[in-house]
Structure 1
């Protein structure tokens, strides 16, 4: 009998597969201000806590939608590095995103976390195109979905 190591990649499983949740991350005004400086998106609802408290129904500043989106790789990195589904991955390349929705504003100072599910996989000879559904939740005590998106990545083995 010849024993071989079988590489188990997302294509070998029935999908969808829920990977898990990240740890909670607090979004500070300093982080939002840095994002505003880098992107030149300095709209006052993100950068002026006094005006945002008096002139919006949010009660203060809110996190940029694209900042929220940009945190998904950071929030999901540990899940990707430790989940056995991705053990054999050598490199991942971002191919794009589908169905991005901002469902609830995230207040500056709030905690957020990411949830990750593998929803589709196309297998090729040396790589797989994997579709992941990522969601961002806020409000640690009673989580509220704030953002969801399908991310498409090419994973090389």
Structure 2
């Protein structure tokens, strides 16, 4: 059967039996299926890029298309080569920062998250297992730019770049609560550097150390893009 006929058969089959197929699923699997379809539709641009990457056929099988290498500017190439030698290493340890009740209250006002665990000092002394208020997990996360010195205009991490953009986070965990009055600092380990158009994508694992506490308050993989 020709490839075109197979594709046509698949389309007709899914159009005819798509609804029934969903009804055959158990409720739990049905929820995952609906979520998958929704995400597939939302990220169709990314999915299409994967299709294009494997679009060439050879003897009836798809093969990966060789992608055109990214051409780096001299400044970006210099930084890329420098960072390649540091992958796997701890590249930065920040200064200690105190997480005060005032800072926690201000964050609660901005985010409108006034749970008693964070803001009711008297109740926390009685009912909290920590016997004190604790910082919001997202407060700790929001402090990463400060803890990693990435927003200090006097000490730019990449002085030759035109712009540095927070591209996102690949993973975030809060292994231990940051109690009010705790002193914290960040340790950054470089894990990946990838050339992108007009710059580099840099991934770092950031661990937030709590003074005199064995477990970290936050562990996250930060992704930034540096443009030249």
Query: What's the TM-score bracket when you normalise by the shorter of the two chains?
Result: 0.7 to 0.9
Q: CA deviation digits over 1:91-135, x for unaligned, max 9?
A: 111111011000001100010101112210111352001111111
Mean Cα deviation higher: 114-123 or 40-49: 114-123
- Structure 2 residue aligned with 1:51: 123
Q: CA RMSD in A?
A: 2.3
For 1:30 and 1:39, the matched residues in 2 are separated by 14
- Structure 2 residue aligned with 1:155: 226
Q: Is the 8 A contact 2:76 2:200 kept in 1?
A: no
Structure 1, unaligned runs of 5 or more:
none
For 1:125 and 1:107, the matched residues in 2 are separated by 42
SS at 2:104's partner residue? helix
User: Given the superposition, is the C-alpha separation of residues 120 and 110 from structure 1 closer, same or farther in structure 2, using an over 3 Å criterion?
Assistant: same
Structure 2, unaligned runs of 5 or more:
1-73
For 2:79 and 2:224, the matched residues in 1 are separated by 14
Q: Is the 8 A contact 1:53 1:59 kept in 2?
A: yes
Residues 1:39 and 2:76 are matched in the alignment = no
How far apart are residue 7 of structure 1 and its match? 5.4
Specify which structure has the bigger relative contact order, considering alpha-carbon pairs within 8 angstroms and separated by 6 or more residues. Answer: 1
User: Given the superposition, is the C-alpha separation of residues 11 and 113 from structure 1 closer, same or farther in structure 2, using an over 3 Å criterion?
Assistant: same
Aligned length: 151
Mean Cα deviation higher: 10-19 or 48-57: 10-19
Counting helix residues as a fraction of each chain, which structure ranks higher?
A: 2
- Structure 1 residue aligned with 2:147: 75
For 1:51 and 1:88, the matched residues in 2 are separated by 51
* Over 6 Å off, 4+ runs: none
Q: Is the 8 A contact 2:145 2:151 kept in 1?
A: no
